[in-house]
Amino acid sequence: MNTRLPSSSRTLRLASVTPTRLRELIGANLDALEGILRWNGANGIRVFRLTSNLIPFGSHVANELAWWDEFAPRFRELGRLIFDGCMSISTHPGQYTVLSSARPHVVDAAVAELEYHDRLLDAFGLDRSHKIVLHVGSGAAKPDETRARLTDGFERLSPGAAGRLALEHDERWSLGSVLTVAERLGLPVVFDVFHHRLAPSLEGLGVRDLVLRAGETWRMDDGRQEVHFSTQEPGRRPGAHAEEIDLDEFSRFASEVGDLPLDCILEVKDKERSVLRARRLLDPNQHSPACERTSGEDEEARTRGHCTGRSIPRPLEEA
């Protein structure tokens, strides 16, 4: 969520769901998203994570609206902003979206949530390079059983949702273990430097080589490789993201990978304040990357513009 810009994740209680109220909230959230996208564009932010709550109860049976049709003109307008701004958009379903769960109803809900995320990205006219980033989930103590369940869950996804999926490692599933799963399924892996420190693997490889190793899983149609940066919040449980960016740590990270073409997501609490500080550190003169598109792409093209410029990590502003 943004800390100063309008929220695009306004929702309501399940007991209060009505078609009228849902339409009001969807309209308000899309209006707020427009303001955020315009702010990002004005500040040279080309990477953005959409909130899962943009459409309240988007994967729940309580939401019976064909919102992708009702709001189609609005989605096209916002898709135009994304396209013109050469933005890379991703989503990150919450911790309860567990495709590898041993409980069937949890897997059913996860499939529904991932299909909602795919439909949401499709509503903007975005191709499969705009990713849905997912954790493997629990079950690290019995990895073979969990991998089998994840494979079964993955096979239930539509081609659209499956084609957008990327896996991220965490403190339970190390980078090495997630690479094994992802390569079996043909999925790209998101490298998270903070999670790697909590659950190290691939001994002997430095951060740059770890990013390159994860990068081997990204194909041309997956788009630009995504990485995550965050640090530990002092005095909190291990794994709690810091309130604001640690510029010294970020500078060290950037110096190791700064010549690689990456989309870098900053997972911090104060959002746009930290992203502007990171941007100033990476590019003191505030140069925005030029936007180039491949031949044949026009304003109806269902793809993102390909942005070029300095090969530095591009920091993210999260919805």
Query: Mean per-residue pLDDT for 220-228?
Result: 97
pLDDT at 147: 96
Question: pLDDT digit string (tens) for 270-298?
Answer: 888 999 999 999 887 765 555 544 333 33
- Model confidence at 310: pLDDT above 60: no
The answer to whether the beta carbons of residues 209 and 179 sit under 8 Å apart is no
pLDDT at 311: 31
pLDDT band at 319 (very low <50, low <70, confident <90, very high): very low
Question: pLDDT digit string (tens) for 117-153?
Answer: 999 999 999 999 999 999 999 888 899 999 999 999 9
Question: pLDDT digit string (tens) for 240-271?
Answer: 999 999 999 999 999 999 899 999 999 998 88
Q: What percent of the chain has pLDDT over 90?
A: 81
Question: pLDDT digit string (tens) for 12-59?
Answer: 899 999 999 999 999 999 999 999 999 999 999 999 999 999 999 999
pLDDT at 97: 97
In terms of phi and psi (left: phi > 0; alpha: psi -120 to 50; beta: otherwise), the region of 26 is: alpha
pLDDT at 258: 82
Q: CA angle, 141 as apex, 192 and 115 as ends, to 5°? A: 55
pLDDT at 301: 31
- Model confidence at 315: pLDDT above 60: no
Radius of gyration of the chain (CA): 19
pLDDT band at 169 (very low <50, low <70, confident <90, very high): very high
Helix or strand run (H / E) with residue 316: strand 314-318
Query: Mean per-residue pLDDT for 308-315?
Result: 36
CA 298, chain centre distance (Å): 25
Taking CA atoms, 165 is separated from 2, 132, 135, in Å, by 24, 5, 10
pLDDT at 2: 46
- Identify the structural domains of the chain with CATH numbers, from first to last: 14-318 (3.20.20.150)
pLDDT at 140: 86
DSSP conformation letters of 231-280: -BPTTS-TTPBPSS--HHHHHHHHHHHTTS-EEEEE--SSTHHHHHHHHH
User: Cα separation of 212 and 216, whole Å?
Assistant: 6
Backbone angles phi, psi at 159, to 5 degrees: -55, -35
pLDDT at 283: 82
Which token pair is 42?
């004005």
205: three-class secondary structure by DSSP:
coil
User: Cα separation of 27 and 134, whole Å?
Assistant: 27
pLDDT band at 4 (very low <50, low <70, confident <90, very high): low
Backbone angles phi, psi at 232, to 5 degrees: -75, 135
Q: What percent of the chain has pLDDT over 70?
A: 88
pLDDT band at 154 (very low <50, low <70, confident <90, very high): very high
The number of residues making up the chain comes to 319
The whole-chain average pLDDT of the chain stands at: 89
Which residues face 166 on adjacent strands? 133
